[in-house]
Structures are given as C-alpha cells and as structure tokens.
Amino acid sequence: MSIKGKVAIVSGSSSGTGVGGEIAKLLGSRGCNVVVNYATNKAGAEEAVARLQGGRWRCLCVQGRRVK
C-alpha cells in the first residue's frame, strides 16, 4: 500500500522524542504529509514540524483540545 501524498494526523509527536515523533518521521520518510497534533505543547509541535520540514513532504502543526 502506498501512502505517498496521503495525509496523516499524528498525536503525541510534539515532544519529538516519543513514539509519536518516530511515527511522524517514518510516515514523512515514506512520502506522507504529516499533521502534528498537540494539546498544550505548541513550542514542541513547532520544533517537530521544523525537524520534519527538511523532507520531501509537507508538515504542519494543529492544536486539538479535548471537548468537555
């Protein structure tokens, strides 16, 4: 299955050191465009996007909050 050009929303990738960050890198390396979802760590999400921007894919960060 090809994921090139598809879009993936990855939660938990704003820390850059956890499983979410590794998944975002893997998806991006396979040509998938990545949305880094964060709840509170905007700076971490922006750093994750900056790290991923060097590839051949698009990447952006979006805040998602829990609705009560």
Query: What pLDDT does 48 receive?
Result: 85
Residues of the chain with pLDDT under 70: 16-17, 55
Query: What pLDDT does 28 receive?
Result: 86
Residue 23: Cβ within 10 Å count = 16
What's the whole-model pTM score?
A: 0.79
Judged on CB neighbours under 10 Å (0-12, 13-18, 19+), 11 is middle
Query: What pLDDT does 62 receive?
Result: 92
Query: What pLDDT does 6 receive?
Result: 93
